[in-house]
Structure 1
Amino acid sequence: MKFAFHTLGCKVNLFETQALMQLAAERGHEIVDQGADAVIVNTCTVTAVSDHKNIRAFHKLRRDNPDAVIAACGCFAQLEPERVRASGEIDLICGTRERAAILRQCEQAVCGHVEPAATHTDERFEVLPAGVPRGRTRALLKIEDGCDNFCAYCIIPYARGRVRSMPPERVESEVNRLQTFGVHEIVLTGIELSSYGRDLSQDISLVPLLRSLLGAHPGLRFRLGSLDPRTADQAFCNELSGYDNLARHFHLSLQSGCDSVLQRMNRKYDTALFHQNVSSLRRAFPDCSITTDLIVGFPGETEAEFQETLTFLERCAFASVHVFPYSRRAGTRADQMEGQVPQPVKEARAARAKALAEHLSERYRAGFVGRALSVLPEHPVSGGLWACHSSFFFPVYLSGGGLSKNTPVSARITELYRDGLRAEKIL
């Protein structure tokens, strides 16, 4: 059979799609972009906008694959199965649990034996094999699922369930398997990565797991996905600063730089703690990339509160900021809050925040011009350049012959370029 896959949403969804592709290949199926017998779409429901994107994707996939079996999995399929069915385009629904079963159900449906598919509520961690994207030198590894935080704007705990973690021995097994495939960097990810191990035992948490992985695989770089800002405290820095194979990139999810807004969001920290931990990271990991997410126009946000956020972005000097206008999501507390900010105001604030974010990014990246970095070529791009990645956040575009995937090289940064930096190979 021929399988095609379509992913919406976050890196966790991307990992899960790659895992399904890996399982499909192991079952003898061909992975294609066109002419599929079955299509699996991995959905997102983080905002109302995401829901609309899902429906549009369903219609397009059906137009492009009129005779295929189309299956939906992921957060939207878990939370809104009736809306998925009402689209009239989806044959099978899986949700966020027991994803591997969707392959068998697609096989049966293509053969005319339709088994009713449904969403599941199993609270165990579903272990999926990490897939290695063709031509890539790094891979995602999901080690945690679910969230217990229940932020006022977020529907994901209802779609993903409570925190569930991959047992440490299975994490080690997956890392070993990825290393045999020639992977040079593994990105550890999860819905609430900082909560890793909370469901397993009091002795298991993210930092001890990292120490174990970093010590056992000194030639393999590990990068962390999004972290709760409370995680990156002085103890975190003390435990991990001695490992050169921990990427110098930390993504701390801010959401607002104003304490009153953070309280309304039901975030569990304030700006003082956030900045304290940013400072600890910079002392322990000099020049590290610190990136973040930001929601503007949250219910009740005043111009003065927004200005506090802009000032705080400057103070933290982020390497990159992902800016999102607040999007109402039915089923969350924020959807029922008074003081909903008009859409034009949200969009104007988002534009101002993005302009500041670009300035901060350029200022941070400019600090690397003239420096030598070790980079890992990943794939050629236009202009005779190779896209590479380093220990830091930004991509490096490298010129020069004799480059090959999976072979680290020393490069000197010459200028700002696109979303990253341009460099020349040091001979």
Structure 2
Amino acid sequence: MKVAIYTLGCKVNQYETQAMEQSLRARGHEVVDFSDAADAYVVNTCSVTAVSDQKSRQVLHRARREHPGAVVAVCGCYPQTHADDVRKLDVDLIAGTGDRTGFIGLLEQAVAEKRHLEAIDKSFERRVFEVLPAGGMENRTRAMLKVEDGCVNFCTYCIIPYARGPVRSLPLDKATEQARGLAADGYREIVLTGIEISSWGKDLKTGQTLIDLVEAICAAAPGVRIRLGSLEPRTVTEDFCRRAAALPMLCPQFHLSMQSGCDATLKRMNRKYDTARFAQSVELLNQYFEHPAITTDMITGFPEETEEEFAQTLAFIRQCGFAQMHIFPYSIRPGTPAAEMTQVPKAVKEDRARRGAAVAAELRRAYLEDCVGKLYPVLFEQPRDGKFFGHAPNYMEVLVDGEDLHNVVKNVRVTATDGDVLFGEIED
């Protein structure tokens, strides 16, 4: 059969989609573009906000409207958390966030038998990590390796613990086996991803933590860059930094999940750190790594946020000197405690997002300007605007004159920046 998959949401969803695509091909099926004719259309959904739910519904409606004779299937966080809402939609197969391998079998059954099927488990009862094939999309230079699933932090704005269940970790031996396989397949970079990778190992009861996993993967795939997904700030301890800095292929880019630079706001969010602890993580990374790229997320207009609290956040992000930030106004997620708090007007949330973005742009420009003159090993990916594009280890985008550089690493001397990307010259 021909199958098309549309993916919304995070890198974990992207990872699980490519794993399903590998499984489909291994079973003799053809994966086609979502705009092409197919026997089945799968929407792998996100439910992090109400807007995410709306986008998922829109894609499902479009699939049914444009392909009335095909099977329309939905999986992911939206049906896991809002099954009753999804049942009201005109879909043939409903599944959640568990058992991706089983989902492929149900999809085959739905196409063959032309009947409605549903498979949604209880996420909080999950105890085993589902091992899926690692890899990347076609022609990619980097691969994702999912090493963890689930979260038990229960931030007041987030529904993901209900969608994904408790922490489950990919066992270390399985992780190193997959890393070796990716290296053998020719990938030059592996991104460790998960719902909350800082919690890796907690369920395995071996005493091992994320840094033990990182060391093992670096040893299993020597010569391959290893990049970390989003980190909980408390992961960054002196021991973590000392051991991480000794790994030459670990990329010096660290995404620390911040959300707010105000202690009162962080407390309402039920985050497990304060600004002093976050600042300590930033200081340690700058101490152990040369010019690391520290990136983050920030929510503006969280319920009850005052102008003074937002001013504290702006001052804090300047103090941290982030290389890049993802900034977005708070979006209500029904079913979470924050949805019941006093809301900030939409115009205020959006204004604060714009003001935050302006500061973030200043910080990014300053970081990029500090890169000028430095030499970086750049992993090249594809042509862009008459040049060749790639990423430095700090994940900054680099453009050079050249051709036929796909999946090649070259040393590049940075000569200039436009405040968005770096420009450089290859040095042999």
User: Is TM > 0.5 for Structure 1 vs Structure 2?
Assistant: yes
> Equivalent residues in 2 for 1:377-392 (5 A)?
377-381=380-384, 383-392=385-394
Amino acid at match of 2:60: F
Q: State the 1:63 CA deviation.
A: 2.9
Q: State the 1:418 CA deviation.
A: 7.2
Q: Secondary structure of 1:247's match?
A: coil
1:397: which partner in 2? 399
| Compared CA separation, residues 128 and 216, structure 1 to 2 (3 A) | closer
Q: Secondary structure of 2:259's match?
A: coil
1:407: which partner in 2? 408
8 Å Cα contact 1:3-1:31 kept in structure 2: yes
Q: State the 1:330 CA deviation.
A: 1.3
Q: Secondary structure of 1:201's match?
A: coil
Q: Does 1:191 align with 2:192?
A: no
Q: Does 1:170 align with 2:171?
A: no
**Structure 2 unpaired stretches of 5+:** none
Q: Does 1:74 align with 2:76?
A: yes
2:234: which partner in 1? 230
- Counterpart among 40, 49, 52 of residue 50 in structure 1: 52
- Counterpart among 360, 363, 367 of residue 364 in structure 1: 367
Q: Does 1:21 align with 2:21?
A: yes
Amino acid at match of 1:259: D
1:426: which partner in 2? 427
Q: Distance in 1 between matches of 2:19 and 2:360?
A: 33
8 Å Cα contact 1:47-1:329 kept in structure 2: yes
Q: Secondary structure of 1:365's match?
A: helix
1:274: which partner in 2? 278
Q: State the 1:318 CA deviation.
A: 0.2
- Could you give the per-residue CA deviations for residues 84-120 of structure 1, whole angstroms, max 9, x where no partner exists? 12122x2111100012222111212222253622212
Q: Distance in 1 between matches of 2:244 and 2:340?
A: 42
Q: How many percent identity over aligned positions? A: 49
Q: Distance in 1 between matches of 2:184 and 2:346?
A: 50
1:12: which partner in 2? 12
Q: Secondary structure of 1:387's match?
A: strand
Q: Distance in 2 between matches of 1:234 and 1:345?
A: 39
| Compared CA separation, residues 420 and 61, structure 1 to 2 (3 A) | farther
> Equivalent residues in 2 for 1:120-159 (5 A)?
120-121=121-122, 122-159=126-163
Amino acid at match of 1:200: L
Amino acid at match of 2:413: R
Q: State the 1:417 CA deviation.
A: 4.3
8 Å Cα contact 2:297-2:326 kept in structure 1: yes
1:87: which partner in 2? 89
Question: Greater CA deviation, 323-332 or 254-263?
Answer: 323-332
Q: State the 1:307 CA deviation.
A: 0.2
8 Å Cα contact 2:414-2:424 kept in structure 1: yes
Q: Secondary structure of 2:131's match?
A: coil
| Compared CA separation, residues 418 and 81, structure 1 to 2 (3 A) | farther
1:265: which partner in 2? 269
TM-score (norm 1): 0.96
Q: Distance in 2 between matches of 1:370 and 1:239?
A: 28
Q: State the 1:406 CA deviation.
A: 2.2
Q: State the 1:210 CA deviation.
A: 1.0
Amino acid at match of 2:86: V
Q: Distance in 2 between matches of 1:202 and 1:177?
A: 24
- Could you give the per-residue CA deviations for residues 343-369 of structure 1, whole angstroms, max 9, x where no partner exists? 110010011101111111111011111
Q: Which runs of 4+ in 1 moved over 6 A?
A: none
8 Å Cα contact 1:144-1:165 kept in structure 2: yes
Q: State the 1:239 CA deviation.
A: 1.5
| Compared CA separation, residues 117 and 321, structure 1 to 2 (3 A) | same
- Could you give the per-residue CA deviations for residues 138-177 of structure 1, whole angstroms, max 9, x where no partner exists? 0111110000100111110011101011111111111111
- Could you give the per-residue CA deviations for residues 231-264 of structure 1, whole angstroms, max 9, x where no partner exists? 0121110121111100010000000000010011
| Compared CA separation, residues 10 and 213, structure 1 to 2 (3 A) | same
Amino acid at match of 1:68: A
Q: Distance in 2 between matches of 1:254 and 1:73?
A: 29
Amino acid at match of 1:29: H
Q: Secondary structure of 1:378's match?
A: strand
> Equivalent residues in 2 for 1:203-218 (5 A)?
203-218=207-222
Q: State the 1:30 CA deviation.
A: 1.1
- Counterpart among 346, 352, 359 of residue 349 in structure 1: 352
Q: Distance in 2 between matches of 1:324 and 1:182?
A: 36
TM-score (norm 2): 0.96
**Structure 1 unpaired stretches of 5+:** none
Q: Does 1:310 align with 2:314?
A: yes
Indicate the RMSD between aligned Cα atoms, in angstroms: 1.4
Q: Secondary structure of 1:335's match?
A: helix
8 Å Cα contact 1:136-1:379 kept in structure 2: no
8 Å Cα contact 1:289-1:319 kept in structure 2: yes
1:253: which partner in 2? 257
| Compared CA separation, residues 415 and 64, structure 1 to 2 (3 A) | farther
